[in-house]
Amino acid sequence: MDRRQMENAIAGIVRHLGASLKNRGLYPATHPLVRTPVEKCHRELLLLFDDRTELALTVSDGTLILEGVPIFHLTSSLELFLARLGAIGVPAVIFEKGVTVEEIELFVRFLHETKEQGLSVAAIKEQLDLAGIRRIRVTSTDEDKNDFTLAREIYGNAINVVITALKDVRTGKTPDGATCDRTVREMNGMISRNRDAMLALTLIKDFDEYTYNHSVNVSILSLALADSLGLSEQNRINVGVAGLLHDVGKTQLALDLIRKAGTLTVEEFEEIKKHPVEGYAILGKMSNIEDETRNIVREHHMRFDRAGYPRPEPELRVNPHSQVIAVADCYDALTTMRSYQKARTPQGALEIMRKLSGKSLDPDLVLLLERSLGAYPVGTLLRLNTMEVGIVTGVAEGGKGDPNVAILYDRVGNPLPAPEAVSLSETDPVSGKPRRVVLGTVNPLLHPSVSLESVLSVATA
Protein backbone atom coordinates (compact mmCIF):
# COMPACT_ATOMS: atom_id res chain seq x y z
CA MET A 1 0.00 0.00 0.00
CA ASP A 2 1.52 3.33 -1.10
CA ARG A 3 1.11 6.64 0.72
CA ARG A 4 -1.94 7.77 -1.25
CA GLN A 5 -3.70 4.44 -0.78
CA MET A 6 -2.95 4.58 2.95
CA GLU A 7 -4.35 8.10 3.25
CA ASN A 8 -7.50 7.07 1.38
CA ALA A 9 -7.93 4.06 3.65
CA ILE A 10 -7.42 6.24 6.74
CA ALA A 11 -9.94 8.80 5.54
CA GLY A 12 -12.38 5.97 4.84
CA ILE A 13 -12.02 4.55 8.35
CA VAL A 14 -12.88 7.85 10.01
CA ARG A 15 -15.67 8.57 7.51
CA HIS A 16 -17.29 5.17 8.17
CA LEU A 17 -17.09 5.67 11.93
CA GLY A 18 -18.72 9.06 11.60
CA ALA A 19 -21.46 7.72 9.33
CA SER A 20 -22.31 4.88 11.69
CA LEU A 21 -22.44 7.24 14.66
CA LYS A 22 -24.67 9.70 12.84
CA ASN A 23 -27.04 7.00 11.63
CA ARG A 24 -27.10 5.45 15.10
CA GLY A 25 -29.11 8.49 16.18
CA LEU A 26 -31.66 7.91 13.42
CA TYR A 27 -32.01 4.15 13.11
CA PRO A 28 -31.85 1.04 15.34
CA ALA A 29 -28.46 -0.60 15.85
CA THR A 30 -29.31 -3.46 13.45
CA HIS A 31 -30.20 -1.15 10.55
CA PRO A 32 -27.89 -1.49 7.51
CA LEU A 33 -27.08 2.25 7.62
CA VAL A 34 -25.61 1.67 11.08
CA ARG A 35 -24.10 -1.78 10.59
CA THR A 36 -22.69 -1.44 7.06
CA PRO A 37 -20.34 1.52 7.80
CA VAL A 38 -18.94 -0.47 10.74
CA GLU A 39 -18.21 -3.44 8.49
CA LYS A 40 -16.54 -1.16 5.93
CA CYS A 41 -14.48 0.45 8.68
CA HIS A 42 -13.33 -2.99 9.80
CA ARG A 43 -12.28 -3.96 6.27
CA GLU A 44 -10.24 -0.76 5.91
CA LEU A 45 -8.57 -1.42 9.26
CA LEU A 46 -7.58 -4.92 8.19
CA LEU A 47 -5.68 -3.49 5.22
CA LEU A 48 -3.68 -1.17 7.45
CA PHE A 49 -2.98 -3.93 9.95
CA ASP A 50 -0.96 -5.84 7.36
CA ASP A 51 2.23 -4.09 8.54
CA ARG A 52 1.38 -2.76 12.00
CA THR A 53 -0.24 -3.88 15.22
CA GLU A 54 -2.15 -0.76 16.22
CA LEU A 55 -3.49 2.52 14.84
CA ALA A 56 -3.78 5.77 16.74
CA LEU A 57 -6.63 8.27 16.29
CA THR A 58 -6.07 11.56 18.12
CA VAL A 59 -7.76 14.92 18.42
CA SER A 60 -5.41 17.92 18.26
CA ASP A 61 -6.61 21.53 18.14
CA GLY A 62 -9.98 20.40 16.86
CA THR A 63 -8.47 18.26 14.10
CA LEU A 64 -8.90 14.51 13.73
CA ILE A 65 -5.59 12.77 13.07
CA LEU A 66 -5.23 9.07 12.27
CA GLU A 67 -1.66 7.73 12.15
CA GLY A 68 -0.34 11.23 11.55
CA VAL A 69 -2.75 11.94 8.69
CA PRO A 70 -5.07 14.91 9.45
CA ILE A 71 -8.67 14.75 8.25
CA PHE A 72 -9.47 18.30 7.12
CA HIS A 73 -12.57 17.77 4.99
CA LEU A 74 -15.19 17.16 7.63
CA THR A 75 -18.66 16.04 6.67
CA SER A 76 -21.56 16.48 9.05
CA SER A 77 -21.08 12.91 10.27
CA LEU A 78 -17.38 13.51 10.95
CA GLU A 79 -18.18 16.73 12.79
CA LEU A 80 -20.59 14.76 14.98
CA PHE A 81 -17.93 12.10 15.58
CA LEU A 82 -15.36 14.75 16.54
CA ALA A 83 -17.85 16.50 18.79
CA ARG A 84 -18.73 13.28 20.63
CA LEU A 85 -15.07 12.47 21.27
CA GLY A 86 -14.51 15.96 22.65
CA ALA A 87 -17.68 16.03 24.77
CA ILE A 88 -17.01 12.67 26.41
CA GLY A 89 -13.34 13.52 26.97
CA VAL A 90 -11.66 11.06 24.62
CA PRO A 91 -8.27 12.54 23.67
CA ALA A 92 -6.89 9.57 21.73
CA VAL A 93 -8.14 6.16 20.56
CA ILE A 94 -5.96 3.14 19.79
CA PHE A 95 -7.30 0.41 17.48
CA GLU A 96 -5.40 -2.84 18.03
CA LYS A 97 -4.80 -5.57 15.50
CA GLY A 98 -7.48 -8.22 15.91
CA VAL A 99 -10.27 -5.73 16.66
CA THR A 100 -13.62 -7.19 15.66
CA VAL A 101 -16.67 -5.76 13.93
CA GLU A 102 -18.59 -6.22 17.18
CA GLU A 103 -16.04 -4.16 19.15
CA ILE A 104 -16.24 -1.31 16.64
CA GLU A 105 -20.03 -1.49 16.83
CA LEU A 106 -19.87 -1.38 20.64
CA PHE A 107 -17.51 1.59 20.50
CA VAL A 108 -19.93 3.51 18.27
CA ARG A 109 -22.71 2.60 20.70
CA PHE A 110 -20.57 3.91 23.59
CA LEU A 111 -20.08 7.24 21.79
CA HIS A 112 -23.80 7.47 21.04
CA GLU A 113 -25.21 6.48 24.42
CA THR A 114 -22.74 8.00 26.88
CA LYS A 115 -24.37 11.03 28.50
CA GLU A 116 -21.54 12.06 30.84
CA GLN A 117 -19.17 14.76 29.67
CA GLY A 118 -15.53 15.41 30.40
CA LEU A 119 -14.83 11.93 31.73
CA SER A 120 -11.33 11.02 32.86
CA VAL A 121 -9.36 8.57 30.75
CA ALA A 122 -9.54 6.07 33.63
CA ALA A 123 -13.35 6.31 33.75
CA ILE A 124 -13.60 5.85 29.97
CA LYS A 125 -11.31 2.81 30.12
CA GLU A 126 -13.52 1.31 32.80
CA GLN A 127 -16.66 1.79 30.71
CA LEU A 128 -15.03 0.26 27.63
CA ASP A 129 -13.93 -2.75 29.68
CA LEU A 130 -17.43 -3.19 31.06
CA ALA A 131 -18.79 -3.05 27.51
CA GLY A 132 -16.46 -5.87 26.49
CA ILE A 133 -14.34 -3.68 24.21
CA ARG A 134 -10.85 -5.18 24.46
CA ARG A 135 -9.01 -4.06 21.34
CA ILE A 136 -10.05 -0.43 21.26
CA ARG A 137 -8.51 1.59 24.04
CA VAL A 138 -8.30 5.25 24.96
CA THR A 139 -5.22 7.05 26.17
CA SER A 140 -4.26 10.58 27.10
CA THR A 141 -2.47 12.80 24.65
CA ASP A 142 1.06 13.49 25.76
CA GLU A 143 1.82 16.89 24.27
CA ASP A 144 1.92 18.57 27.69
CA LYS A 145 3.72 15.78 29.54
CA ASN A 146 7.40 14.93 29.65
CA ASP A 147 8.56 11.39 29.03
CA PHE A 148 9.26 10.61 32.68
CA THR A 149 5.72 11.67 33.66
CA LEU A 150 4.27 9.46 30.94
CA ALA A 151 6.51 6.56 31.95
CA ARG A 152 5.49 7.02 35.60
CA GLU A 153 1.80 6.86 34.65
CA ILE A 154 2.33 3.71 32.59
CA TYR A 155 4.35 2.14 35.41
CA GLY A 156 1.68 3.00 37.97
CA ASN A 157 -1.02 1.51 35.77
CA ALA A 158 1.03 -1.67 35.42
CA ILE A 159 1.33 -1.93 39.21
CA ASN A 160 -2.46 -1.72 39.50
CA VAL A 161 -2.90 -4.41 36.86
CA VAL A 162 -0.57 -6.78 38.76
CA ILE A 163 -2.35 -6.06 42.06
CA THR A 164 -5.72 -6.81 40.46
CA ALA A 165 -4.47 -9.98 38.75
CA LEU A 166 -2.97 -11.43 41.93
CA LYS A 167 -6.06 -10.48 43.96
CA ASP A 168 -8.31 -12.13 41.38
CA VAL A 169 -6.38 -15.39 41.57
CA ARG A 170 -6.42 -15.42 45.36
CA THR A 171 -10.20 -14.92 45.37
CA GLY A 172 -10.84 -17.64 42.82
CA LYS A 173 -11.33 -15.39 39.79
CA THR A 174 -9.55 -15.59 36.45
CA PRO A 175 -7.47 -12.47 35.69
CA ASP A 176 -8.15 -10.52 32.52
CA GLY A 177 -5.42 -11.41 30.04
CA ALA A 178 -6.48 -8.64 27.64
CA THR A 179 -5.75 -6.00 30.28
CA CYS A 180 -2.31 -7.48 30.92
CA ASP A 181 -1.64 -7.50 27.17
CA ARG A 182 -2.66 -3.84 26.79
CA THR A 183 -0.51 -2.81 29.74
CA VAL A 184 2.57 -4.51 28.32
CA ARG A 185 1.96 -2.89 24.94
CA GLU A 186 1.93 0.52 26.65
CA MET A 187 5.24 -0.25 28.37
CA ASN A 188 6.73 -1.57 25.15
CA GLY A 189 5.69 1.61 23.35
CA MET A 190 7.27 3.75 26.06
CA ILE A 191 10.53 1.79 25.83
CA SER A 192 10.58 2.52 22.09
CA ARG A 193 9.91 6.20 22.80
CA ASN A 194 12.28 6.75 25.75
CA ARG A 195 14.08 3.65 26.96
CA ASP A 196 15.99 5.52 29.68
CA ALA A 197 12.87 7.00 31.29
CA MET A 198 11.25 3.56 31.53
CA LEU A 199 14.37 1.75 32.78
CA ALA A 200 14.98 4.48 35.36
CA LEU A 201 11.75 3.51 37.09
CA THR A 202 13.03 -0.02 37.76
CA LEU A 203 15.61 1.48 40.16
CA ILE A 204 13.02 3.32 42.26
CA LYS A 205 12.35 0.54 44.71
CA ASP A 206 9.39 0.24 47.06
CA PHE A 207 10.19 -2.23 49.82
CA ASP A 208 6.56 -2.46 50.96
CA GLU A 209 5.28 -3.20 47.45
CA TYR A 210 8.11 -5.51 46.40
CA THR A 211 5.92 -8.20 44.85
CA TYR A 212 4.15 -5.79 42.52
CA ASN A 213 7.15 -3.61 41.70
CA HIS A 214 9.25 -6.68 41.00
CA SER A 215 6.73 -8.06 38.51
CA VAL A 216 6.57 -4.77 36.62
CA ASN A 217 10.35 -4.31 36.72
CA VAL A 218 10.94 -7.80 35.32
CA SER A 219 8.49 -7.04 32.52
CA ILE A 220 10.24 -3.75 31.67
CA LEU A 221 13.73 -5.26 31.75
CA SER A 222 12.52 -8.22 29.68
CA LEU A 223 10.99 -5.90 27.09
CA ALA A 224 14.26 -3.97 26.87
CA LEU A 225 16.20 -7.21 26.38
CA ALA A 226 13.67 -8.47 23.83
CA ASP A 227 14.05 -5.19 21.94
CA SER A 228 17.85 -5.53 21.96
CA LEU A 229 17.45 -9.07 20.61
CA GLY A 230 15.46 -7.68 17.69
CA LEU A 231 12.42 -9.84 18.40
CA SER A 232 9.19 -9.20 16.53
CA GLU A 233 6.62 -7.04 18.29
CA GLN A 234 4.38 -9.99 19.13
CA ASN A 235 7.31 -11.93 20.58
CA ARG A 236 8.27 -8.88 22.65
CA ILE A 237 4.70 -8.66 23.98
CA ASN A 238 4.70 -12.38 24.78
CA VAL A 239 7.93 -11.98 26.74
CA GLY A 240 6.68 -8.82 28.47
CA VAL A 241 3.41 -10.45 29.59
CA ALA A 242 5.41 -13.43 30.87
CA GLY A 243 7.56 -11.03 32.88
CA LEU A 244 4.49 -9.32 34.30
CA LEU A 245 2.93 -12.63 35.36
CA HIS A 246 6.01 -14.77 35.99
CA ASP A 247 5.29 -15.09 39.72
CA VAL A 248 1.50 -15.38 39.54
CA GLY A 249 1.82 -19.02 40.61
CA LYS A 250 3.00 -17.89 44.05
CA THR A 251 -0.60 -16.91 44.78
CA GLN A 252 -1.20 -20.62 45.34
CA LEU A 253 1.33 -20.71 48.17
CA ALA A 254 0.89 -19.70 51.80
CA LEU A 255 1.60 -16.01 52.40
CA ASP A 256 3.81 -16.81 55.38
CA LEU A 257 6.00 -18.94 53.14
CA ILE A 258 6.34 -16.25 50.47
CA ARG A 259 7.17 -13.57 53.03
CA LYS A 260 9.57 -15.65 55.12
CA ALA A 261 12.75 -13.67 55.74
CA GLY A 262 15.02 -16.49 56.89
CA THR A 263 16.42 -19.52 55.12
CA LEU A 264 13.82 -21.90 53.73
CA THR A 265 13.71 -25.50 54.86
CA VAL A 266 14.00 -28.26 52.26
CA GLU A 267 10.25 -28.82 52.49
CA GLU A 268 9.48 -25.11 52.13
CA PHE A 269 11.71 -24.79 49.08
CA GLU A 270 9.96 -27.75 47.49
CA GLU A 271 6.70 -25.80 47.89
CA ILE A 272 8.25 -22.67 46.33
CA LYS A 273 9.43 -24.72 43.38
CA LYS A 274 5.81 -25.42 42.42
CA HIS A 275 5.03 -21.81 41.43
CA PRO A 276 6.17 -21.96 37.75
CA VAL A 277 3.84 -24.89 37.05
CA GLU A 278 1.04 -23.24 39.05
CA GLY A 279 1.55 -20.09 37.00
CA TYR A 280 1.42 -22.09 33.78
CA ALA A 281 -1.94 -23.52 34.83
CA ILE A 282 -3.37 -20.12 35.79
CA LEU A 283 -2.33 -18.55 32.47
CA GLY A 284 -4.01 -21.44 30.70
CA LYS A 285 -7.37 -20.20 32.01
CA MET A 286 -6.81 -16.58 30.97
CA SER A 287 -7.92 -14.97 27.74
CA ASN A 288 -5.48 -13.30 25.32
CA ILE A 289 -2.51 -15.27 26.61
CA GLU A 290 -0.26 -16.85 23.97
CA ASP A 291 1.14 -20.36 24.39
CA GLU A 292 4.65 -18.92 24.24
CA THR A 293 3.90 -16.75 27.27
CA ARG A 294 2.63 -19.74 29.26
CA ASN A 295 5.70 -21.79 28.38
CA ILE A 296 8.06 -18.99 29.38
CA VAL A 297 6.36 -18.68 32.78
CA ARG A 298 6.70 -22.44 33.33
CA GLU A 299 10.37 -22.45 32.26
CA HIS A 300 11.80 -19.28 33.80
CA HIS A 301 13.49 -21.21 36.66
CA MET A 302 14.80 -24.14 34.58
CA ARG A 303 18.28 -22.52 34.44
CA PHE A 304 20.58 -22.29 31.46
CA ASP A 305 22.29 -25.57 32.46
CA ARG A 306 18.83 -27.22 32.86
CA ALA A 307 19.49 -27.92 36.55
CA GLY A 308 16.63 -25.77 37.84
CA TYR A 309 12.94 -26.43 38.36
CA PRO A 310 10.75 -27.94 37.20
CA ARG A 311 13.49 -30.23 35.90
CA PRO A 312 13.05 -30.37 32.10
CA GLU A 313 12.75 -33.70 30.39
CA PRO A 314 15.80 -34.53 28.22
CA GLU A 315 13.83 -34.11 25.00
CA LEU A 316 12.21 -30.79 25.99
CA ARG A 317 13.26 -27.83 23.87
CA VAL A 318 13.16 -24.95 26.32
CA ASN A 319 11.88 -21.71 24.80
CA PRO A 320 14.98 -19.52 24.24
CA HIS A 321 13.08 -16.50 25.55
CA SER A 322 12.54 -18.11 28.96
CA GLN A 323 16.07 -17.08 29.89
CA VAL A 324 15.17 -13.44 29.16
CA ILE A 325 12.85 -13.56 32.17
CA ALA A 326 15.47 -15.39 34.25
CA VAL A 327 18.09 -12.69 33.57
CA ALA A 328 15.68 -9.82 34.22
CA ASP A 329 14.38 -11.54 37.37
CA CYS A 330 17.90 -12.01 38.74
CA TYR A 331 18.98 -8.43 38.04
CA ASP A 332 15.97 -6.82 39.68
CA ALA A 333 16.16 -9.12 42.71
CA LEU A 334 19.84 -8.34 43.24
CA THR A 335 19.32 -4.57 43.04
CA THR A 336 16.45 -4.61 45.54
CA MET A 337 16.88 -4.49 49.32
CA ARG A 338 15.06 -7.29 51.09
CA SER A 339 14.87 -8.28 54.73
CA TYR A 340 17.43 -10.99 54.03
CA GLN A 341 19.80 -9.12 51.67
CA LYS A 342 21.20 -5.71 50.98
CA ALA A 343 20.61 -4.14 47.59
CA ARG A 344 23.51 -4.38 45.18
CA THR A 345 24.47 -1.51 42.92
CA PRO A 346 23.82 -2.14 39.23
CA GLN A 347 27.53 -2.83 38.73
CA GLY A 348 27.59 -5.18 41.73
CA ALA A 349 24.56 -7.06 40.44
CA LEU A 350 26.08 -7.46 37.00
CA GLU A 351 29.33 -8.72 38.54
CA ILE A 352 27.43 -11.46 40.38
CA MET A 353 25.50 -12.32 37.23
CA ARG A 354 28.73 -12.74 35.27
CA LYS A 355 29.72 -15.45 37.75
CA LEU A 356 26.36 -17.14 37.18
CA SER A 357 26.79 -17.04 33.39
CA GLY A 358 26.85 -20.47 31.81
CA LYS A 359 25.33 -21.97 34.94
CA SER A 360 21.94 -20.58 35.91
CA LEU A 361 22.02 -17.74 33.37
CA ASP A 362 22.54 -17.53 29.61
CA PRO A 363 25.95 -15.81 29.15
CA ASP A 364 24.89 -14.14 25.91
CA LEU A 365 21.84 -12.56 27.57
CA VAL A 366 23.87 -11.39 30.57
CA LEU A 367 26.29 -9.72 28.17
CA LEU A 368 23.39 -8.23 26.24
CA LEU A 369 21.91 -6.84 29.48
CA GLU A 370 25.25 -5.22 30.30
CA ARG A 371 25.39 -3.61 26.88
CA SER A 372 21.76 -2.55 27.12
CA LEU A 373 22.24 -0.91 30.52
CA GLY A 374 25.66 0.52 29.65
CA ALA A 375 28.85 0.60 31.71
CA TYR A 376 27.04 2.89 34.14
CA PRO A 377 23.30 2.10 34.18
CA VAL A 378 20.68 4.81 34.68
CA GLY A 379 20.56 5.86 38.34
CA THR A 380 24.27 5.20 39.04
CA LEU A 381 26.04 7.90 41.10
CA LEU A 382 29.42 8.91 39.68
CA ARG A 383 32.45 10.82 40.96
CA LEU A 384 34.04 12.96 38.22
CA ASN A 385 37.60 14.22 37.99
CA THR A 386 36.24 17.67 38.83
CA MET A 387 35.21 16.12 42.18
CA GLU A 388 31.59 16.78 41.28
CA VAL A 389 29.05 14.03 41.95
CA GLY A 390 26.49 13.29 39.27
CA ILE A 391 23.86 10.74 38.40
CA VAL A 392 23.52 8.80 35.14
CA THR A 393 20.28 9.79 33.43
CA GLY A 394 20.75 7.96 30.14
CA VAL A 395 23.08 5.60 28.34
CA ALA A 396 24.51 5.76 24.85
CA GLU A 397 22.86 3.60 22.22
CA GLY A 398 24.29 0.10 22.36
CA GLY A 399 25.83 0.80 25.76
CA LYS A 400 28.94 2.28 24.17
CA GLY A 401 30.06 5.87 24.60
CA ASP A 402 29.63 8.39 27.37
CA PRO A 403 26.48 8.27 29.49
CA ASN A 404 24.21 11.26 30.04
CA VAL A 405 24.99 12.78 33.42
CA ALA A 406 23.32 15.37 35.66
CA ILE A 407 25.45 17.01 38.34
CA LEU A 408 23.97 16.83 41.86
CA TYR A 409 26.88 18.09 44.03
CA ASP A 410 29.55 20.66 43.21
CA ARG A 411 33.28 20.09 43.68
CA VAL A 412 33.17 20.92 47.42
CA GLY A 413 30.16 18.72 48.12
CA ASN A 414 27.39 21.34 48.14
CA PRO A 415 24.10 20.13 46.61
CA LEU A 416 22.99 22.06 43.54
CA PRO A 417 19.54 23.73 43.62
CA ALA A 418 18.55 21.52 40.68
CA PRO A 419 20.27 18.76 38.67
CA GLU A 420 22.51 20.24 35.98
CA ALA A 421 22.89 18.22 32.79
CA VAL A 422 26.46 18.12 31.46
CA SER A 423 28.14 16.49 28.50
CA LEU A 424 31.12 14.24 29.16
CA SER A 425 32.23 14.84 25.58
CA GLU A 426 32.77 18.54 26.27
CA THR A 427 36.48 19.41 25.90
CA ASP A 428 38.67 21.93 27.70
CA PRO A 429 39.42 24.76 25.24
CA VAL A 430 43.04 24.97 26.44
CA SER A 431 44.12 21.33 26.66
CA GLY A 432 41.68 19.89 24.18
CA LYS A 433 41.05 17.03 26.60
CA PRO A 434 37.64 16.07 28.04
CA ARG A 435 36.63 18.54 30.72
CA ARG A 436 34.96 15.85 32.83
CA VAL A 437 36.02 12.24 33.19
CA VAL A 438 34.44 9.52 35.31
CA LEU A 439 36.69 8.51 38.22
CA GLY A 440 34.36 5.85 39.55
CA THR A 441 31.03 5.11 41.13
CA VAL A 442 29.76 6.52 44.43
CA ASN A 443 27.97 4.51 47.09
CA PRO A 444 24.39 5.88 47.14
CA LEU A 445 24.32 5.35 50.92
CA LEU A 446 26.78 8.26 51.19
CA HIS A 447 24.08 10.54 49.77
CA PRO A 448 20.82 9.32 51.38
CA SER A 449 19.18 12.68 50.75
CA VAL A 450 19.16 12.06 47.00
CA SER A 451 15.64 11.30 45.83
CA LEU A 452 16.16 9.15 42.76
CA GLU A 453 12.64 9.76 41.51
CA SER A 454 12.77 13.56 41.84
CA VAL A 455 16.19 13.71 40.16
CA LEU A 456 15.25 11.46 37.28
CA SER A 457 11.93 13.24 36.79
CA VAL A 458 13.91 16.35 35.95
CA ALA A 459 16.90 14.77 34.25
CA THR A 460 15.10 12.32 31.96
CA ALA A 461 12.32 14.72 30.97
Residues 90-105: pLDDT tens digits?
Answer: 888 889 888 999 999 9
Q: Provide mean pLDDT across the span 372-389.
A: 89
Give the pLDDT of residue 40: 94
Q: What are phi and psi of 11, to 5 degrees?
A: -60, -35
- Report d(CA 18, CA 139) in Å as an integer: 20
Q: Which residues pair with 69 in a beta bridge?
A: 66
Q: Taking residues 376-389, what's their average pLDDT?
A: 90
pLDDT of residue 417: 85
DSSP structure class, residue 345:
P
Vertex 59, ends 99 and 136: CA angle to 5°? Answer: 15
Asked if 239 contacts 226 with a C-beta cutoff of 8 angstroms, the reply is yes
Asked if the model's pLDDT at residue 242 lies above 70, the reply is: yes
d(C-alpha 417, C-alpha 393), whole Å: 17
Residue 7 has pLDDT above 80, yes or no: no
Residue-level pLDDT at 196: 84
Q: What is the pLDDT of residue 398?
A: 63
pLDDT surpassing 90 at residue 121: no
Task: Write down the pLDDT at residue 141.
Answer: 62
Examine the pLDDT at 329 and tell me if it is beyond 70: yes
CA R_g for the chain: 25
The per-residue pLDDT for 299 is 97
Across 175-180, average pLDDT: 90
Transcribe 198-256 into DSSP letters.
HHHHTTS--GGGHHHHHHHHHHHHHHHHHHHTT--HHHHHHHHHHHHTTTGGGGGS-HH
- Which of 101-115, 123-137, 436-450 is predicted least confidently? 436-450
The answer, yes or no, to whether the previous bond of 310 is cis (omega within 30 of 0) is: yes
Q: Which residue has the higher pLDDT, 258 or 274?
A: 274
Residue 160: partners with Cβ closer than 8 Å, 6 or more residues away: none
Level-2 CATH architecture, domain 147-373: Orthogonal Bundle (1.10)
Q: Give the C-alpha separation, 378 to 404, whole Å.
A: 9
The answer to whether residue 62 scores a pLDDT higher than 70 is no
Q: Is the pLDDT of residue 333 over 70?
A: yes
- Give the pLDDT confidence score for residue 144 in this predicted structure: 47
pLDDT band for position 444 (cuts 50, 70, 90)? confident
Residue intervals of the chain classified under CATH 1.10.3210.10 are: 147-373
Average pLDDT of span 357-368: 96
For residues 404 and 360, the model is more confident at 360
How confident is residue 207, by pLDDT bands cut at 50, 70 and 90? low
Higher-scoring residue by pLDDT: 421, 259: 421
**Residue 461: pLDDT above 60?**
no
Q: pLDDT value at position 116?
A: 86
Mean pLDDT for the chain overall: 87
Element (H, E) at 183: helix 177-193
**How confident is the model at residue 208, as a pLDDT?**
56
Q: What is the pLDDT of residue 453?
A: 64
